[in-house]
Chains A and B, each alone.
Chain A
Amino acid sequence: MENMAKSEKKNTPLLHIVKRDQGTVTWYYKLIVRAVAILAAILVSGILITILAKANPIEVYGSMVDGVFGSSRRIWNMLQGVAMLLCVSLAVTPAFKMKFWNIGAEGQVLISGLACVATMMFLGDTMPTALLLVVMTVVSVLAGMIWALLPALFKAYWNTNETLFTLMMNYVATQLVAWFLKAFVKNGSGVLTPMPEYGLPVIGGKAYLLNVLLVAVLTIAVYVYLRYSKHGYEISVVGESENTARYIGINVKKVVVRTMLISGAICGIAGLLLVGGTNHTISTTTVGGRGFTAIMVSWLAKFNPLYMVLTSFLLIFLEMGSQQISTDFRISSSIADIVTGIILLFIIGCEFFLQYRVVVSKNRKENVK
């Protein structure tokens, strides 16, 4: 109202932004907006690559698809990539649904990986494989939980800013890993030789099958937890309105701490799968930014674990596709990051069109007379 009145006097802006009544936003409108955003992003990144690589755009897109689906090995890599990203995304989702900005998944996964690798290294020979697997799992999950518990406690009791706290915890974890590698790798190279002999079992002859299956189960578990359990309900209420939570007598502190413990535990599983199930070793870049990308995956899917399968596939597709392009057309592999960044911005930006409406200002002068 104020805006309109103002605009009338001064340079009458042509466009005026109003908040959309969420009741009038239909599901197909949402779908169309998002689809258009993704298509536009793919188009823009295609044009960009075409210019940078001076190549035929059809070939560029072809190379992208080839990079993801070109061979059974590539498909397995893609599945593994999706599974790992999805696993970390599942971890951050309960916290985000509660509006707890946990950007520390990177560190929570890494510290679990470190705990896992340490177990493999020091206890690998001392116990039977089955027991070792149990110990590895417990230790990894505990490590993730501890890393998540610290910021949660301070948030719950002193309202310490969780975004920055969890961010800093990432780097503490990174430095711990760096220290570990330098202190305990005997040859002093700082590179730990993989120890597949202590890793998770390989099933069906496929190295990544176990990971993929476990994450699939986890996805459903998290979905059910959030949608059908009393805990999940409490998380939604706290996230939507702390006042309402108080009104019905939910102990907000307890919910915050409990939810972060669950987040941390899933990060622990991610660490276990990455280290025990995939790499069998660790480096400071083992998590490779998944902790951050996971936030996007979760946010884009509106915190719905089932949609997250799609969003993590989208991101992995772009990443692997761009890598293929960079090999095929001999341009820097950093193109993958650029393309990911572009598509993220497009999808983030399209939220605007879901939340607001741009209307052409009416000239109200006639009405006023």
Chain B
Amino acid sequence: MAKPIALECRGITKTFGRVVANKNCDLEVYKGEILAILGENGSGKTTLMNMVAGIYYPDEGQIFVDGQEVTIASPKDAFAYKIGMIHQHFKLVDVFTACENIALGVEDEGRYRLADVRRKVIEITQRYGFVIDPDKRVADMSVSEKQTVEIIKVLYRGADVLILDEPTAVLTPQETDKLFAVLRRMREDNKSVIIITHKLHEVLSLSDRVAVLRRGEHIGTVNTADATEGVLTEMMMGVKVELSIERSEPKNPQERLKVEDLHSVNEEGRPILDGVSFTAYSGEILGIAGIAGSGQRELLESIAGLHQLTQGNITYQDPKTGKTENLRDKNPLQIRDLGVRLSFVPEDRLGMGLVGNMDIVDNMMLRSYQKGRGFFLHRREPRDLALNIIEDLQVVTPSAATPVRQLSGGNVQKVLVGREIAAAPTVLMAAYPVRGLDVNASYTIYNLLNRQKEKGVAVIFVGEDLDVLMELCDRILVINAGRVTGIVDGRTARKEEIGLLMTKSKEEGVGEYGEK
């Protein structure tokens, strides 16, 4: 029974500035097994594996390969120890073919001949049952094909330990099944496979053992055969944290924004939004939960007029006149000209919401620079606004003339949220507004959103921390792979329930558009 240990981590600690990513983590993986590393977003799974793959260097701790202590300081070192990692963001050259990408950086003996590379690639594909055209350009490939190329690349370099970071996040269920078949074949071939994931059903169906990480710490490793969803969820989520965000009952909720059957596709023609429908009411906070990249960003951007839809309707109901407007296929300016007061705090603060090199006053003007008559800018109002926001939200800045790039993350966000709220919105959308913020700044943002809700604004909040969503939101919409898998009541929902909805595959999710 006792299989030899292929790779072992002992007491690994890694900090980034003041943030502790991993704390004293122990982990071992045997030859010929599939180990799942389970944890929520930000629990330190990827960081830990990046240290094994040579991307980061641990602050403390040791790594053993085949019982020998090793120093892995670069991806090249990792390859030398036959460790290969398939990252979530593929590192491929678009204009190269699969073969060329695979051959990249490999210093084989003898002359470089593409024909030799191809032969070896085909050998690997046949051995593990991959389906790939070695002469296809990466640019013409689907995401799943690109992933296959990444896996072959690692195998081509002779890796015995394969680490896959959220490999199924971008795959369809069918593609996932194929990938799992390949991974099982690798296990039979006595290779060690580590799969980073937060999807419980995958863990249960694929892995031999599960290591659970929570907030950077290794909580424990269990045999999959002995585990149940309940046990794993508890290990993953931990005890519920009391956040004590004040939450009032929605007052006089009225239909404000109705979204019906939104569809959109990416450049490759794959669906991003796949029939999203919901209604946002005034005086409530609607939370949106889901695994990163499930279509949350595109959903908000399509409402804001920044993302092209292929199908669907967005209807806005004016609180004063009761008139309705269809917002589909209108750009942000046209939406504003309709008298729709829609504010949007995008995920990318300095790349979209603000201009980093401009000062606070000029950033205030982004939304309003066209106001006022004539050819010239009117800086008085934005300056007053900037000063108000600095005072009200306690933005720490040398002056209103400081470029926002120089502010800390929390202060940047205060400036952005402050500006969007100053427009007296009737709908306020915020994507990951507390990401990277410390506790105090986060609470400032929660309170701002709550105050808007009390004023009768329809607030849409995309978050990643389920505890926060459950404390803050009146309803939580769960989205997975561009589909709504459920809408639950924020007051009564259980965390496990939301977690399951987040990972629910497409087939199960159909037809569940719970309304309040």
A229 and B377 contacting across the interface, CB-CB below 8 Å: yes
A240 and B358 contacting across the interface, CB-CB below 8 Å: yes
B96 is an interface residue with CB less than 8 A from chain A: no
A230 and B358 contacting across the interface, CB-CB below 8 Å: no
CA distance A139 to B130 in the complex (A): 67
CA distance A22 to B56 in the complex (A): 25
B355 and A247 contacting across the interface, CB-CB below 8 Å: no
B355 and A236 contacting across the interface, CB-CB below 8 Å: yes
A10 partner residues in chain B, CB cutoff 8 A = 73
B409 is an interface residue with CB less than 8 A from chain A: no
B175 is an interface residue with CB less than 8 A from chain A: no
A2 and B358 contacting across the interface, CB-CB below 8 Å: no
A237 and B366 contacting across the interface, CB-CB below 8 Å: yes
A6 is an interface residue with CB less than 8 A from chain B: yes
CA distance A237 to B366 in the complex (A): 8
Those of A226-281 within 8 Å (CB) of chain B: 228-234, 236-237, 240-241, 243-244, 246-249
B60 and A368 contacting across the interface, CB-CB below 8 Å: yes
A233 partner residues in chain B, CB cutoff 8 A = 362, 365, 369, 377
**Knowing A5-B74, A23-B405, A23-B406 touch, does A244 contact B56 (C-beta < 8 A)?**
no
B306 is an interface residue with CB less than 8 A from chain A: yes
**Centre residue among B331, B354, B355, B367 by max chain A CB count within 10 A:** B355
B55 is an interface residue with CB less than 8 A from chain A: yes
A1 is an interface residue with CB less than 8 A from chain B: yes
A8 partner residues in chain B, CB cutoff 8 A = 57, 73
B352 and A244 contacting across the interface, CB-CB below 8 Å: yes
B351 partner residues in chain A, CB cutoff 8 A = 241, 243-244
A4 is an interface residue with CB less than 8 A from chain B: yes
B352 and A9 contacting across the interface, CB-CB below 8 Å: no
State how many residues of chain A have any CB contact under 8 Å with chain B.
31
Smallest CB-CB separation from B357: which chain A residue?
A240
CA distance A228 to B375 in the complex (A): 9
A5 and B73 contacting across the interface, CB-CB below 8 Å: yes
B418 is an interface residue with CB less than 8 A from chain A: no
Partner of B332, one of A4, A229, A241, A248: A248
A249 partner residues in chain B, CB cutoff 8 A = 305, 331-336
B57 and A1 contacting across the interface, CB-CB below 8 Å: yes
A2 and B55 contacting across the interface, CB-CB below 8 Å: yes
A189 is an interface residue with CB less than 8 A from chain B: no
A1 partner residues in chain B, CB cutoff 8 A = 56-57
Partner of B376, one of A229, A241, A244, A246: A229
A367 is an interface residue with CB less than 8 A from chain B: yes
B71 is an interface residue with CB less than 8 A from chain A: yes
B336 and A2 contacting across the interface, CB-CB below 8 Å: no
Query: Shortest CB–CB separation between residue A230 and chain B, in angstroms?
Result: 6
A364 partner residues in chain B, CB cutoff 8 A = 57
B56 and A237 contacting across the interface, CB-CB below 8 Å: no
Query: Shortest CB–CB separation between residue B408 and chain A, in angstroms?
Result: 9
CA distance A228 to B334 in the complex (A): 25
CA distance A260 to B306 in the complex (A): 26
A9 partner residues in chain B, CB cutoff 8 A = 71, 73-74, 77
A241 partner residues in chain B, CB cutoff 8 A = 351-352, 355-356
Query: Shortest CB–CB separation between residue A227 and chain B, in angstroms?
Result: 9
Query: Shortest CB–CB separation between residue B75 and chain A, in angstroms?
Result: 9
Smallest CB-CB separation from B304: which chain A residue?
A247
B189 partner residues in chain A, CB cutoff 8 A = none
B331 partner residues in chain A, CB cutoff 8 A = 249
CA distance A2 to B306 in the complex (A): 36
B74 and A2 contacting across the interface, CB-CB below 8 Å: yes
A368 and B306 contacting across the interface, CB-CB below 8 Å: no
Smallest CB-CB separation from A231: which chain B residue?
B375
**Centre residue among B305, B348, B352 by max chain A CB count within 10 A:** B352
A229 partner residues in chain B, CB cutoff 8 A = 375-377
**Centre residue among A10, A234, A241, A369 by max chain B CB count within 10 A:** A241
B370 is an interface residue with CB less than 8 A from chain A: yes
Cβ contacts B360-379/A at 8 Å (1 or 0 each): 00100111011000011100
A237 partner residues in chain B, CB cutoff 8 A = 355, 366
Interface residues on B, range: 35 or more
B367 partner residues in chain A, CB cutoff 8 A = 248
Query: Shortest CB–CB separation between residue B492 and chain A, in angstroms?
Result: 36
B56 partner residues in chain A, CB cutoff 8 A = 1-2, 5
A234 partner residues in chain B, CB cutoff 8 A = 369
B375 partner residues in chain A, CB cutoff 8 A = 229-231
Smallest CB-CB separation from A24: which chain B residue?
B406
CA distance A1 to B15 in the complex (A): 11
CA distance A228 to B365 in the complex (A): 12
CA distance A144 to B467 in the complex (A): 62
Partner of B366, one of A5, A22, A231, A248: A248
Cβ contacts B312-350/A at 8 Å (1 or 0 each): 000000000000000000011111100000001010100
A240 and B332 contacting across the interface, CB-CB below 8 Å: no
CA distance A6 to B71 in the complex (A): 10
B59 is an interface residue with CB less than 8 A from chain A: yes
**Knowing A230-B370, A233-B377 touch, does A6 contact B59 (C-beta < 8 A)?**
no
CA distance A234 to B365 in the complex (A): 11
Cβ contacts B472-511/A at 8 Å (1 or 0 each): 0000000000000000000000000000000000000000
Query: Shortest CB–CB separation between residue A143 and chain B, in angstroms?
Result: 26
CA distance A1 to B74 in the complex (A): 11
Query: Shortest CB–CB separation between residue A131 and chain B, in angstroms?
Result: 29
B463 partner residues in chain A, CB cutoff 8 A = none
A6 and B355 contacting across the interface, CB-CB below 8 Å: no
B73 and A244 contacting across the interface, CB-CB below 8 Å: no
CA distance A246 to B346 in the complex (A): 12
B348 partner residues in chain A, CB cutoff 8 A = 243
CA distance A233 to B357 in the complex (A): 13
A368 partner residues in chain B, CB cutoff 8 A = 57-60
CA distance A278 to B354 in the complex (A): 46
CA distance A123 to B73 in the complex (A): 75
CA distance A23 to B55 in the complex (A): 28
A6 and B306 contacting across the interface, CB-CB below 8 Å: no
B77 partner residues in chain A, CB cutoff 8 A = 9
B406 and A247 contacting across the interface, CB-CB below 8 Å: no
A228 partner residues in chain B, CB cutoff 8 A = 376-377
CA distance A237 to B353 in the complex (A): 11
CA distance A228 to B377 in the complex (A): 6
Smallest CB-CB separation from A25: which chain B residue?
B406
A244 and B353 contacting across the interface, CB-CB below 8 Å: yes
A22 and B377 contacting across the interface, CB-CB below 8 Å: no
Smallest CB-CB separation from A228: which chain B residue?
B376
Query: Shortest CB–CB separation between residue B107 and chain A, in angstroms?
Result: 16
Partner of B346, one of A4, A23, A236, A247: A247
CA distance A233 to B363 in the complex (A): 10
Query: Shortest CB–CB separation between residue B285 and chain A, in angstroms?
Result: 23
CA distance A233 to B379 in the complex (A): 11
Nearest 3 interchain pairs by C-beta? A5-B57, A249-B333, A23-B406
> What are 17 A-B pairs with beta-carbon distances under 8 A?
A4-B57, A5-B73, A8-B73, A9-B71, A23-B406, A233-B369, A236-B355, A241-B356, A243-B351, A244-B366, A247-B306, A247-B332, A247-B353, A249-B331, A249-B334, A249-B336, A368-B60
| Chain A contacts to B: CB under 8 angstroms | 1-2, 4-6, 8-10, 22-23, 228-234, 236-237, 240-241, 243-244, 246-249, 364, 367-369
Given contacts A228-B376, A249-B335, 20 further A-B contacts (CB under 8 A): A5-B54, A9-B74, A9-B77, A22-B403, A23-B406, A228-B377, A230-B370, A230-B375, A232-B377, A233-B369, A243-B351, A244-B351, A247-B332, A248-B367, A249-B305, A249-B331, A249-B332, A249-B334, A249-B336, A368-B60
